[in-house]
Amino acid sequence: MPRRAPSRCARRACSDALGGHQQHEHQGDEREEEREQPPEERGPPLAPGDRRRPGDDEDPEDEADGVADDERRVGGEQVHAASRGLRVTRLWRDILSVALDPVRSVRRARRARRRGWRWRVGWRRRPGSGTVLGGRAAMGTEPTDDGRLAPALRAWFLGPPRRHGEVLTDRVVSFLELFYDLVFVVLVGQVAHTLAGNLGWAGVADFAVVFGLVWIAWLNGSLYHEMHGREDGRGRTYIFVQMLLLVVLAVYAGEATGSQSTGFAVTYTLLLAVLALQWWTIRRYDVEESFRRSTVHYVLAIALVGVLMLASAALPDGPRLVVWAGIVVGWVLSAVVEFNRAEMPEWDVPVTESMAERFGLLTIIVLGEVVVGVTDGLIEVGPTPVAVATGLLALCVGFGFWWNYFDAVGRRTPQARRGQFTLWLVIHLPLTGAIAAAGAGMVSLVEHAADDHVPAGTAWLLAGSSALLLGLLGALVRTLDYRDALGGLVGTVSRSAWAGALACMAVGLAAAVVPGVRGWVLALSLTVVNGLVWAYVFARQVRQSGLPAPGRPAAGAEA
Protein backbone atom coordinates (compact mmCIF):
# COMPACT_ATOMS: atom_id res chain seq x y z
CA MET A 1 0.00 0.00 0.00
CA PRO A 2 1.36 3.58 -0.70
CA ARG A 3 2.88 5.39 2.23
CA ARG A 4 1.27 8.62 3.47
CA ALA A 5 3.34 11.79 3.11
CA PRO A 6 4.65 13.24 6.39
CA SER A 7 2.74 16.14 7.89
CA ARG A 8 3.98 19.74 8.11
CA CYS A 9 4.71 19.41 11.84
CA ALA A 10 6.74 16.27 11.27
CA ARG A 11 8.78 17.98 8.52
CA ARG A 12 9.43 20.97 10.75
CA ALA A 13 10.49 18.75 13.65
CA CYS A 14 12.86 16.80 11.43
CA SER A 15 14.32 20.05 10.06
CA ASP A 16 14.89 21.35 13.57
CA ALA A 17 16.46 18.05 14.58
CA LEU A 18 18.78 18.20 11.57
CA GLY A 19 19.78 21.73 12.41
CA GLY A 20 20.47 20.75 16.00
CA HIS A 21 22.56 17.81 14.80
CA GLN A 22 24.64 20.11 12.56
CA GLN A 23 25.07 22.57 15.42
CA HIS A 24 26.34 19.78 17.68
CA GLU A 25 28.81 18.74 15.00
CA HIS A 26 30.07 22.34 14.74
CA GLN A 27 30.55 22.52 18.50
CA GLY A 28 32.39 19.20 18.40
CA ASP A 29 34.80 20.61 15.80
CA GLU A 30 35.47 23.62 18.02
CA ARG A 31 36.23 21.39 20.99
CA GLU A 32 38.59 19.30 18.85
CA GLU A 33 40.46 22.46 17.77
CA GLU A 34 40.65 23.59 21.37
CA ARG A 35 42.21 20.29 22.47
CA GLU A 36 44.88 20.75 19.82
CA GLN A 37 45.96 24.11 21.38
CA PRO A 38 48.89 24.24 23.84
CA PRO A 39 47.96 24.11 27.54
CA GLU A 40 49.06 27.72 28.18
CA GLU A 41 46.65 29.00 25.49
CA ARG A 42 43.59 27.08 26.64
CA GLY A 43 42.87 29.16 29.71
CA PRO A 44 41.65 27.96 33.10
CA PRO A 45 39.29 24.98 33.26
CA LEU A 46 35.57 25.48 33.30
CA ALA A 47 33.76 25.51 36.58
CA PRO A 48 31.12 22.79 37.15
CA GLY A 49 27.93 23.70 35.38
CA ASP A 50 29.51 26.67 33.57
CA ARG A 51 29.31 26.85 29.80
CA ARG A 52 31.79 29.76 29.45
CA ARG A 53 35.37 30.18 30.42
CA PRO A 54 36.26 32.90 32.87
CA GLY A 55 37.24 35.98 31.00
CA ASP A 56 35.10 35.35 27.96
CA ASP A 57 33.13 38.27 26.79
CA GLU A 58 29.49 37.94 27.59
CA ASP A 59 27.81 38.83 24.36
CA PRO A 60 23.99 38.97 24.36
CA GLU A 61 23.99 37.38 20.90
CA ASP A 62 26.04 34.43 22.22
CA GLU A 63 23.60 34.02 25.07
CA ALA A 64 20.71 33.95 22.63
CA ASP A 65 22.53 31.36 20.52
CA GLY A 66 22.94 29.18 23.62
CA VAL A 67 19.21 29.35 24.31
CA ALA A 68 18.52 28.39 20.70
CA ASP A 69 20.90 25.46 20.98
CA ASP A 70 19.06 24.22 24.06
CA GLU A 71 15.75 24.44 22.22
CA ARG A 72 17.14 22.54 19.24
CA ARG A 73 18.51 19.84 21.53
CA VAL A 74 15.15 19.40 23.22
CA GLY A 75 13.43 19.30 19.84
CA GLY A 76 15.87 16.67 18.60
CA GLU A 77 15.21 14.49 21.63
CA GLN A 78 11.48 14.79 21.02
CA VAL A 79 11.88 13.81 17.37
CA HIS A 80 14.07 10.85 18.38
CA ALA A 81 11.44 9.67 20.85
CA ALA A 82 8.71 10.13 18.25
CA SER A 83 10.65 8.17 15.63
CA ARG A 84 11.29 5.39 18.14
CA GLY A 85 7.59 5.21 18.92
CA LEU A 86 6.87 5.18 15.19
CA ARG A 87 9.18 2.19 14.71
CA VAL A 88 7.46 0.29 17.53
CA THR A 89 4.08 1.13 16.02
CA ARG A 90 5.17 -0.15 12.62
CA LEU A 91 6.49 -3.35 14.23
CA TRP A 92 3.15 -4.08 15.89
CA ARG A 93 1.34 -3.13 12.69
CA ASP A 94 3.37 -5.72 10.75
CA ILE A 95 2.71 -8.40 13.36
CA LEU A 96 -1.03 -7.69 13.48
CA SER A 97 -1.25 -7.58 9.68
CA VAL A 98 -0.06 -11.19 9.59
CA ALA A 99 -2.01 -12.43 12.60
CA LEU A 100 -5.33 -10.72 11.83
CA ASP A 101 -5.42 -10.66 8.05
CA PRO A 102 -4.58 -14.13 6.66
CA VAL A 103 -7.36 -13.93 4.09
CA ARG A 104 -5.76 -10.91 2.42
CA SER A 105 -2.41 -12.70 2.33
CA VAL A 106 -3.94 -15.79 0.71
CA ARG A 107 -5.69 -13.63 -1.91
CA ARG A 108 -2.43 -11.85 -2.65
CA ALA A 109 -0.70 -15.22 -3.07
CA ARG A 110 -3.40 -16.40 -5.48
CA ARG A 111 -3.00 -13.25 -7.59
CA ALA A 112 0.75 -13.77 -7.62
CA ARG A 113 0.36 -17.36 -8.80
CA ARG A 114 -1.94 -16.29 -11.61
CA ARG A 115 0.67 -13.78 -12.76
CA GLY A 116 3.39 -16.41 -12.70
CA TRP A 117 5.17 -15.11 -9.61
CA ARG A 118 6.70 -17.25 -6.88
CA TRP A 119 6.82 -16.79 -3.17
CA ARG A 120 10.07 -15.23 -2.01
CA VAL A 121 11.06 -15.55 1.60
CA GLY A 122 11.95 -12.25 3.21
CA TRP A 123 14.03 -12.37 6.32
CA ARG A 124 15.64 -9.59 8.24
CA ARG A 125 19.31 -8.87 7.53
CA ARG A 126 21.54 -6.65 9.61
CA PRO A 127 25.10 -5.66 8.75
CA GLY A 128 27.52 -8.15 10.26
CA SER A 129 24.82 -10.50 11.51
CA GLY A 130 23.12 -13.65 10.28
CA THR A 131 19.54 -14.19 9.32
CA VAL A 132 16.65 -14.21 11.72
CA LEU A 133 14.53 -16.99 10.26
CA GLY A 134 17.16 -19.31 8.84
CA GLY A 135 19.10 -19.98 5.69
CA ARG A 136 17.97 -20.66 2.17
CA ALA A 137 18.52 -24.40 2.54
CA ALA A 138 16.24 -24.54 5.57
CA MET A 139 13.49 -22.53 3.91
CA GLY A 140 13.66 -24.01 0.43
CA THR A 141 13.08 -20.57 -1.16
CA GLU A 142 14.99 -17.42 -2.01
CA PRO A 143 15.75 -14.46 0.28
CA THR A 144 14.66 -10.85 -0.05
CA ASP A 145 16.39 -7.85 1.46
CA ASP A 146 13.50 -5.50 2.08
CA GLY A 147 14.00 -5.81 5.86
CA ARG A 148 10.28 -5.79 6.66
CA LEU A 149 8.79 -8.18 9.17
CA ALA A 150 5.36 -8.73 7.64
CA PRO A 151 6.57 -10.33 4.36
CA ALA A 152 8.95 -12.53 6.31
CA LEU A 153 6.19 -13.77 8.61
CA ARG A 154 3.87 -14.36 5.67
CA ALA A 155 6.52 -16.35 3.84
CA TRP A 156 7.45 -18.30 6.97
CA PHE A 157 3.90 -19.20 8.02
CA LEU A 158 1.98 -18.95 4.73
CA GLY A 159 4.58 -20.28 2.31
CA PRO A 160 3.39 -22.96 -0.12
CA PRO A 161 4.01 -26.67 0.50
CA ARG A 162 5.91 -28.79 -1.98
CA ARG A 163 3.91 -29.77 -5.02
CA HIS A 164 3.63 -33.26 -6.45
CA GLY A 165 6.97 -34.10 -7.98
CA GLU A 166 9.09 -31.92 -5.69
CA VAL A 167 10.78 -34.91 -4.08
CA LEU A 168 13.72 -34.41 -1.71
CA THR A 169 15.66 -37.58 -2.38
CA ASP A 170 18.39 -36.74 0.14
CA ARG A 171 15.99 -35.77 2.93
CA VAL A 172 16.57 -37.20 6.39
CA VAL A 173 13.99 -37.74 9.11
CA SER A 174 13.78 -34.54 11.14
CA PHE A 175 13.47 -34.02 14.88
CA LEU A 176 9.97 -32.70 14.24
CA GLU A 177 8.91 -36.07 12.84
CA LEU A 178 10.48 -37.90 15.78
CA PHE A 179 8.55 -35.63 18.14
CA TYR A 180 5.39 -36.36 16.17
CA ASP A 181 5.91 -40.12 16.51
CA LEU A 182 6.14 -39.85 20.29
CA VAL A 183 2.41 -39.17 20.47
CA PHE A 184 1.75 -42.48 18.73
CA VAL A 185 3.82 -44.24 21.37
CA VAL A 186 1.12 -43.23 23.85
CA LEU A 187 -1.72 -44.04 21.45
CA VAL A 188 -0.46 -47.53 20.64
CA GLY A 189 0.22 -48.14 24.33
CA GLN A 190 -3.35 -47.27 25.25
CA VAL A 191 -4.81 -49.58 22.61
CA ALA A 192 -2.46 -52.45 23.50
CA HIS A 193 -3.21 -52.04 27.21
CA THR A 194 -6.90 -52.58 26.50
CA LEU A 195 -6.11 -55.77 24.59
CA ALA A 196 -3.96 -57.04 27.47
CA GLY A 197 -7.05 -56.99 29.68
CA ASN A 198 -9.23 -58.86 27.18
CA LEU A 199 -7.45 -61.58 25.18
CA GLY A 200 -10.63 -63.08 23.73
CA TRP A 201 -11.82 -62.78 20.17
CA ALA A 202 -13.87 -59.70 21.02
CA GLY A 203 -10.82 -57.97 22.48
CA VAL A 204 -8.73 -58.85 19.42
CA ALA A 205 -11.42 -57.46 17.10
CA ASP A 206 -11.65 -54.21 19.07
CA PHE A 207 -7.87 -53.89 19.02
CA ALA A 208 -7.61 -54.52 15.28
CA VAL A 209 -10.20 -51.87 14.42
CA VAL A 210 -8.90 -49.14 16.75
CA PHE A 211 -5.28 -49.83 15.84
CA GLY A 212 -6.23 -49.59 12.16
CA LEU A 213 -7.74 -46.15 12.73
CA VAL A 214 -4.63 -44.99 14.60
CA TRP A 215 -2.38 -46.35 11.84
CA ILE A 216 -4.36 -44.52 9.15
CA ALA A 217 -3.98 -41.26 11.08
CA TRP A 218 -0.22 -41.81 11.37
CA LEU A 219 0.12 -42.67 7.70
CA ASN A 220 -1.74 -39.57 6.51
CA GLY A 221 0.30 -37.21 8.66
CA SER A 222 3.61 -38.89 7.83
CA LEU A 223 2.93 -39.29 4.12
CA TYR A 224 1.90 -35.65 3.77
CA HIS A 225 5.10 -34.43 5.42
CA GLU A 226 7.17 -36.79 3.29
CA MET A 227 5.60 -35.68 0.02
CA HIS A 228 4.74 -32.02 0.61
CA GLY A 229 5.99 -30.82 3.99
CA ARG A 230 8.60 -28.15 4.64
CA GLU A 231 10.57 -27.27 7.75
CA ASP A 232 8.90 -23.87 8.08
CA GLY A 233 6.34 -22.29 10.35
CA ARG A 234 3.43 -23.62 8.36
CA GLY A 235 4.65 -27.22 8.45
CA ARG A 236 5.45 -27.08 12.15
CA THR A 237 2.08 -25.56 12.97
CA TYR A 238 0.22 -28.32 11.12
CA ILE A 239 2.22 -30.99 12.94
CA PHE A 240 1.61 -29.42 16.34
CA VAL A 241 -2.13 -29.04 15.70
CA GLN A 242 -2.26 -32.75 14.86
CA MET A 243 -0.35 -33.57 18.03
CA LEU A 244 -2.84 -31.60 20.12
CA LEU A 245 -5.72 -33.64 18.73
CA LEU A 246 -3.78 -36.91 18.98
CA VAL A 247 -3.15 -36.35 22.68
CA VAL A 248 -6.88 -35.88 23.22
CA LEU A 249 -7.49 -38.97 21.09
CA ALA A 250 -5.15 -40.97 23.32
CA VAL A 251 -7.33 -40.10 26.32
CA TYR A 252 -10.29 -41.87 24.68
CA ALA A 253 -8.34 -44.65 22.91
CA GLY A 254 -8.31 -47.00 25.90
CA GLU A 255 -12.11 -47.23 25.93
CA ALA A 256 -12.73 -46.29 22.31
CA THR A 257 -15.12 -49.19 21.76
CA GLY A 258 -16.89 -48.70 25.08
CA SER A 259 -17.70 -45.77 27.31
CA GLN A 260 -15.41 -43.27 25.53
CA SER A 261 -16.59 -44.01 22.00
CA THR A 262 -18.27 -40.63 21.49
CA GLY A 263 -15.20 -38.65 22.47
CA PHE A 264 -13.00 -40.84 20.29
CA ALA A 265 -15.27 -40.45 17.26
CA VAL A 266 -15.58 -36.66 17.58
CA THR A 267 -11.85 -36.14 18.14
CA TYR A 268 -10.98 -38.41 15.23
CA THR A 269 -13.35 -36.41 13.03
CA LEU A 270 -11.58 -33.17 13.96
CA LEU A 271 -8.25 -34.80 13.16
CA LEU A 272 -9.56 -35.85 9.74
CA ALA A 273 -10.71 -32.28 9.13
CA VAL A 274 -7.18 -31.00 9.74
CA LEU A 275 -5.71 -33.67 7.47
CA ALA A 276 -8.24 -32.87 4.74
CA LEU A 277 -7.32 -29.19 4.95
CA GLN A 278 -3.64 -30.05 4.56
CA TRP A 279 -4.22 -32.22 1.51
CA TRP A 280 -6.62 -29.69 -0.02
CA THR A 281 -3.94 -26.99 -0.03
CA ILE A 282 -1.85 -29.15 -2.38
CA ARG A 283 -4.50 -28.80 -5.07
CA ARG A 284 -3.97 -25.03 -5.17
CA TYR A 285 -0.29 -25.42 -6.03
CA ASP A 286 -0.25 -28.46 -8.33
CA VAL A 287 0.18 -27.71 -12.01
CA GLU A 288 -0.94 -30.94 -13.69
CA GLU A 289 -4.66 -31.48 -13.75
CA SER A 290 -4.32 -35.21 -13.08
CA PHE A 291 -2.65 -34.56 -9.73
CA ARG A 292 -5.26 -31.95 -8.84
CA ARG A 293 -8.04 -34.39 -9.65
CA SER A 294 -6.37 -37.15 -7.63
CA THR A 295 -6.07 -34.81 -4.65
CA VAL A 296 -9.75 -33.94 -4.89
CA HIS A 297 -10.66 -37.64 -4.83
CA TYR A 298 -8.50 -38.23 -1.79
CA VAL A 299 -9.91 -35.24 0.10
CA LEU A 300 -13.46 -36.35 -0.68
CA ALA A 301 -12.62 -39.79 0.69
CA ILE A 302 -11.30 -38.24 3.91
CA ALA A 303 -14.44 -36.11 4.17
CA LEU A 304 -16.63 -39.20 3.74
CA VAL A 305 -14.72 -41.00 6.48
CA GLY A 306 -15.16 -37.98 8.73
CA VAL A 307 -18.92 -37.98 8.18
CA LEU A 308 -19.12 -41.70 8.95
CA MET A 309 -17.03 -41.30 12.10
CA LEU A 310 -19.17 -38.45 13.35
CA ALA A 311 -22.38 -40.34 12.62
CA SER A 312 -21.07 -43.47 14.35
CA ALA A 313 -20.91 -41.62 17.65
CA ALA A 314 -24.68 -42.05 17.98
CA LEU A 315 -24.69 -45.80 17.22
CA PRO A 316 -24.63 -48.68 19.72
CA ASP A 317 -21.37 -50.52 20.37
CA GLY A 318 -21.85 -53.34 17.87
CA PRO A 319 -22.94 -51.33 14.81
CA ARG A 320 -20.37 -48.65 15.60
CA LEU A 321 -17.54 -51.19 15.54
CA VAL A 322 -18.82 -52.50 12.20
CA VAL A 323 -18.76 -48.97 10.75
CA TRP A 324 -15.21 -48.41 12.00
CA ALA A 325 -14.08 -51.74 10.58
CA GLY A 326 -15.63 -50.77 7.25
CA ILE A 327 -13.69 -47.52 7.35
CA VAL A 328 -10.38 -49.35 7.82
CA VAL A 329 -11.08 -51.93 5.11
CA GLY A 330 -12.45 -49.28 2.77
CA TRP A 331 -9.39 -47.10 3.21
CA VAL A 332 -7.07 -49.99 2.37
CA LEU A 333 -9.06 -50.88 -0.75
CA SER A 334 -9.33 -47.27 -1.89
CA ALA A 335 -5.58 -46.81 -1.44
CA VAL A 336 -4.92 -49.86 -3.60
CA VAL A 337 -7.26 -48.59 -6.31
CA GLU A 338 -6.07 -44.97 -6.21
CA PHE A 339 -2.36 -45.77 -6.23
CA ASN A 340 -2.79 -48.10 -9.21
CA ARG A 341 -4.97 -45.95 -11.44
CA ALA A 342 -3.88 -46.04 -15.07
CA GLU A 343 -4.77 -42.35 -15.49
CA MET A 344 -1.84 -41.28 -13.31
CA PRO A 345 0.75 -39.64 -15.63
CA GLU A 346 3.65 -40.94 -13.57
CA TRP A 347 4.30 -42.69 -10.29
CA ASP A 348 4.66 -39.61 -8.09
CA VAL A 349 4.69 -41.06 -4.57
CA PRO A 350 8.29 -40.58 -3.39
CA VAL A 351 10.07 -43.88 -2.83
CA THR A 352 12.85 -42.47 -0.66
CA GLU A 353 15.02 -43.74 2.15
CA SER A 354 13.41 -41.27 4.53
CA MET A 355 9.99 -42.85 3.92
CA ALA A 356 11.40 -46.32 4.57
CA GLU A 357 13.00 -44.97 7.73
CA ARG A 358 9.67 -43.60 8.94
CA PHE A 359 8.10 -47.06 8.66
CA GLY A 360 11.10 -48.51 10.45
CA LEU A 361 10.59 -46.02 13.27
CA LEU A 362 6.93 -47.04 13.51
CA THR A 363 8.09 -50.65 13.84
CA ILE A 364 10.38 -49.57 16.69
CA ILE A 365 7.39 -47.92 18.39
CA VAL A 366 5.30 -51.09 18.34
CA LEU A 367 8.31 -53.19 19.39
CA GLY A 368 8.43 -51.02 22.47
CA GLU A 369 5.12 -52.59 23.50
CA VAL A 370 6.95 -55.90 23.97
CA VAL A 371 9.21 -54.26 26.54
CA VAL A 372 6.25 -52.54 28.19
CA GLY A 373 4.27 -55.79 28.31
CA VAL A 374 7.08 -57.72 30.00
CA THR A 375 7.65 -54.91 32.49
CA ASP A 376 3.95 -54.59 33.35
CA GLY A 377 3.68 -58.34 33.89
CA LEU A 378 6.66 -58.38 36.26
CA ILE A 379 5.24 -55.44 38.19
CA GLU A 380 1.91 -57.25 38.62
CA VAL A 381 3.28 -60.56 39.95
CA GLY A 382 6.57 -59.43 41.44
CA PRO A 383 10.12 -60.44 40.44
CA THR A 384 9.91 -64.12 41.30
CA PRO A 385 12.52 -66.41 39.64
CA VAL A 386 10.03 -68.12 37.33
CA ALA A 387 8.40 -64.80 36.41
CA VAL A 388 11.75 -63.16 35.65
CA ALA A 389 12.85 -66.14 33.54
CA THR A 390 9.59 -66.13 31.61
CA GLY A 391 9.78 -62.37 31.11
CA LEU A 392 13.34 -62.51 29.78
CA LEU A 393 12.42 -65.28 27.35
CA ALA A 394 9.41 -63.25 26.23
CA LEU A 395 11.73 -60.32 25.64
CA CYS A 396 13.87 -62.59 23.47
CA VAL A 397 10.82 -63.14 21.27
CA GLY A 398 10.78 -59.38 20.70
CA PHE A 399 14.49 -59.52 19.89
CA GLY A 400 13.69 -62.09 17.22
CA PHE A 401 11.04 -59.78 15.74
CA TRP A 402 13.54 -56.95 15.53
CA TRP A 403 16.31 -59.13 14.11
CA ASN A 404 14.27 -60.63 11.30
CA TYR A 405 12.52 -57.40 10.29
CA PHE A 406 15.52 -55.08 10.20
CA ASP A 407 17.89 -57.60 8.66
CA ALA A 408 15.45 -58.38 5.85
CA VAL A 409 13.77 -54.96 5.48
CA GLY A 410 15.58 -52.26 7.43
CA ARG A 411 15.99 -49.03 5.46
CA ARG A 412 15.49 -50.75 2.11
CA THR A 413 13.05 -48.93 -0.13
CA PRO A 414 10.26 -50.61 -2.07
CA GLN A 415 10.45 -50.98 -5.81
CA ALA A 416 9.40 -47.89 -7.73
CA ARG A 417 6.41 -49.65 -9.25
CA ARG A 418 2.79 -49.01 -8.40
CA GLY A 419 1.82 -52.51 -7.37
CA GLN A 420 4.96 -53.17 -5.33
CA PHE A 421 4.79 -49.87 -3.50
CA THR A 422 1.11 -50.32 -2.68
CA LEU A 423 1.72 -53.81 -1.34
CA TRP A 424 4.68 -52.60 0.72
CA LEU A 425 2.54 -49.82 2.18
CA VAL A 426 -0.50 -51.94 3.03
CA ILE A 427 1.47 -54.86 4.51
CA HIS A 428 2.84 -52.62 7.26
CA LEU A 429 -0.65 -52.19 8.75
CA PRO A 430 -1.18 -55.82 9.90
CA LEU A 431 2.56 -56.31 10.46
CA THR A 432 2.88 -53.51 13.01
CA GLY A 433 -0.46 -54.50 14.54
CA ALA A 434 0.80 -58.06 15.05
CA ILE A 435 3.86 -56.82 16.94
CA ALA A 436 1.75 -54.57 19.17
CA ALA A 437 -0.67 -57.44 19.87
CA ALA A 438 2.24 -59.69 20.83
CA GLY A 439 3.37 -57.04 23.29
CA ALA A 440 -0.09 -57.06 24.86
CA GLY A 441 0.09 -60.84 25.19
CA MET A 442 3.39 -60.61 27.08
CA VAL A 443 1.55 -59.21 30.10
CA SER A 444 -0.61 -62.30 30.48
CA LEU A 445 2.32 -64.61 29.75
CA VAL A 446 4.38 -63.21 32.63
CA GLU A 447 1.41 -62.96 34.98
CA HIS A 448 0.67 -66.69 34.52
CA ALA A 449 4.31 -67.75 34.61
CA ALA A 450 3.78 -69.81 37.76
CA ASP A 451 0.70 -71.61 36.42
CA ASP A 452 0.92 -75.23 35.36
CA HIS A 453 -0.49 -74.41 31.95
CA VAL A 454 -0.35 -71.23 29.88
CA PRO A 455 -3.83 -69.79 29.13
CA ALA A 456 -5.14 -70.77 25.72
CA GLY A 457 -5.91 -67.16 24.77
CA THR A 458 -2.36 -66.09 25.60
CA ALA A 459 -0.87 -68.97 23.62
CA TRP A 460 -2.99 -68.27 20.55
CA LEU A 461 -2.33 -64.53 20.68
CA LEU A 462 1.46 -64.85 20.96
CA ALA A 463 1.80 -67.69 18.47
CA GLY A 464 -0.67 -66.12 16.04
CA SER A 465 1.07 -62.73 16.19
CA SER A 466 4.46 -64.36 15.56
CA ALA A 467 3.07 -66.38 12.66
CA LEU A 468 1.39 -63.32 11.13
CA LEU A 469 4.60 -61.30 11.43
CA LEU A 470 6.75 -63.92 9.70
CA GLY A 471 4.15 -64.60 7.01
CA LEU A 472 3.85 -60.91 6.15
CA LEU A 473 7.62 -60.54 6.26
CA GLY A 474 7.93 -63.23 3.60
CA ALA A 475 5.61 -61.22 1.34
CA LEU A 476 7.19 -57.88 2.21
CA VAL A 477 10.70 -58.82 1.08
CA ARG A 478 9.38 -59.46 -2.44
CA THR A 479 8.39 -55.79 -2.77
CA LEU A 480 11.82 -54.38 -1.89
CA ASP A 481 14.45 -52.92 -4.17
CA TYR A 482 17.45 -54.96 -3.04
CA ARG A 483 20.84 -53.52 -4.00
CA ASP A 484 23.02 -55.86 -1.96
CA ALA A 485 23.86 -59.54 -1.71
CA LEU A 486 20.51 -60.34 -0.11
CA GLY A 487 18.86 -59.51 -3.42
CA GLY A 488 19.78 -62.93 -4.73
CA LEU A 489 18.17 -64.57 -1.71
CA VAL A 490 14.68 -63.08 -1.85
CA GLY A 491 13.13 -66.47 -2.46
CA THR A 492 15.14 -67.97 0.38
CA VAL A 493 14.02 -65.26 2.79
CA SER A 494 10.38 -65.67 1.79
CA ARG A 495 10.35 -69.44 2.08
CA SER A 496 12.18 -69.35 5.39
CA ALA A 497 9.75 -66.79 6.83
CA TRP A 498 6.70 -68.73 5.66
CA ALA A 499 8.07 -71.95 7.13
CA GLY A 500 8.63 -70.11 10.40
CA ALA A 501 5.03 -68.90 10.34
CA LEU A 502 3.76 -72.47 10.06
CA ALA A 503 6.06 -73.52 12.90
CA CYS A 504 4.68 -70.74 15.12
CA MET A 505 1.12 -71.90 14.48
CA ALA A 506 2.13 -75.44 15.43
CA VAL A 507 3.69 -74.15 18.66
CA GLY A 508 0.53 -72.23 19.50
CA LEU A 509 -1.66 -75.26 18.86
CA ALA A 510 0.51 -77.44 21.07
CA ALA A 511 0.56 -74.86 23.86
CA ALA A 512 -3.22 -74.52 23.78
CA VAL A 513 -4.04 -78.24 23.58
CA VAL A 514 -1.24 -80.19 25.23
CA PRO A 515 -1.50 -80.01 29.03
CA GLY A 516 1.48 -78.95 31.10
CA VAL A 517 2.96 -76.41 28.66
CA ARG A 518 4.05 -73.48 30.80
CA GLY A 519 4.65 -69.91 29.76
CA TRP A 520 8.44 -70.11 29.60
CA VAL A 521 8.20 -73.13 27.28
CA LEU A 522 6.00 -71.16 24.88
CA ALA A 523 8.36 -68.17 24.94
CA LEU A 524 11.41 -70.36 24.41
CA SER A 525 9.79 -72.17 21.48
CA LEU A 526 8.87 -68.93 19.70
CA THR A 527 12.39 -67.58 20.29
CA VAL A 528 13.89 -70.69 18.72
CA VAL A 529 11.63 -70.42 15.67
CA ASN A 530 12.58 -66.78 15.05
CA GLY A 531 16.24 -67.64 15.54
CA LEU A 532 16.11 -70.51 13.06
CA VAL A 533 14.51 -68.31 10.41
CA TRP A 534 17.33 -65.79 10.66
CA ALA A 535 20.08 -68.42 10.95
CA TYR A 536 19.00 -70.21 7.78
CA VAL A 537 19.04 -67.01 5.71
CA PHE A 538 22.36 -65.93 7.22
CA ALA A 539 23.98 -69.28 6.40
CA ARG A 540 22.78 -69.11 2.79
CA GLN A 541 24.08 -65.56 2.48
CA VAL A 542 27.52 -66.52 3.82
CA ARG A 543 27.79 -69.44 1.39
CA GLN A 544 26.79 -67.24 -1.52
CA SER A 545 28.77 -64.03 -0.94
CA GLY A 546 30.78 -64.39 2.23
CA LEU A 547 30.39 -62.79 5.63
CA PRO A 548 28.62 -59.41 5.35
CA ALA A 549 30.37 -56.39 6.83
CA PRO A 550 29.02 -55.29 10.23
CA GLY A 551 26.71 -52.32 10.01
CA ARG A 552 25.92 -52.63 6.30
CA PRO A 553 24.85 -55.33 3.85
CA ALA A 554 27.42 -56.96 1.63
CA ALA A 555 27.76 -55.80 -1.94
CA GLY A 556 26.60 -58.19 -4.58
CA ALA A 557 24.03 -58.93 -7.19
CA GLU A 558 20.74 -57.15 -7.36
CA ALA A 559 17.39 -58.85 -7.38
Gap between the Cα atoms of 176 and 117, Å rounded: 30
> By the 8 A CB rule, do 414 and 479 touch?
yes
Between the alpha carbon of residue 367 and those of residues 436, 438, 461, the distances in Å are: 7, 9, 16
Domain borders along the chain are 174-350, 353-559
> By the 8 A CB rule, do 268 and 324 touch?
no
* String of DSSP letters for 343-411: T-SS--S---HHHHHHHHHHHHHHHHHHHHHHHHHHHHH---HHHHHHHHHHHHHHHHHHHHHHHHTTT
* String of DSSP letters for 265-298: HHHHHHHHHHHHHHHHHHHHH--SHHHHHHHHHH
Gap between the Cα atoms of 149 and 98, Å rounded: 9
pTM over 0.75: no
Q: What does the pLDDT read at residue 53?
A: 47
Q: What does the pLDDT read at residue 62?
A: 52
Q: What does the pLDDT read at residue 20?
A: 47
Measure the CA dihedral 298/300/302/303, to 10°.
170
Burial of 312 per CB tally in 10 Å (0-12, 13-18, 19+): buried
Q: What does the pLDDT read at residue 542?
A: 84
Gap between the Cα atoms of 80 and 62, Å rounded: 27
Gap between the Cα atoms of 203 and 449, Å rounded: 22
CA 507 to mean position of chain CA atoms: 40
What are the helix (H) ranges across 100-196? 102-114, 136-139, 149-158, 175-196
- Write phi, then psi, for 199 (nearest 5 degrees): -90, 10
Q: What does the pLDDT read at residue 219?
A: 92
Q: What does the pLDDT read at residue 487?
A: 62
Between the alpha carbon of residue 171 and those of residues 138, 348, 358, 360, the distances in Å are: 12, 16, 12, 16
Mean pLDDT per block of 10 residues along the chain (559 residues) reads 49 48 48 50 48 48 54 53 54 54 54 48 36 37 56 70 72 88 94 91 94 94 82 84 95 90 94 90 73 80 92 90 94 80 54 87 95 94 93 96 91 80 91 96 93 92 96 92 71 92 95 90 95 91 72 39
Gap between the Cα atoms of 268 and 256, Å rounded: 11
> By the 8 A CB rule, do 165 and 171 touch?
no
Q: What does the pLDDT read at residue 246?
A: 96
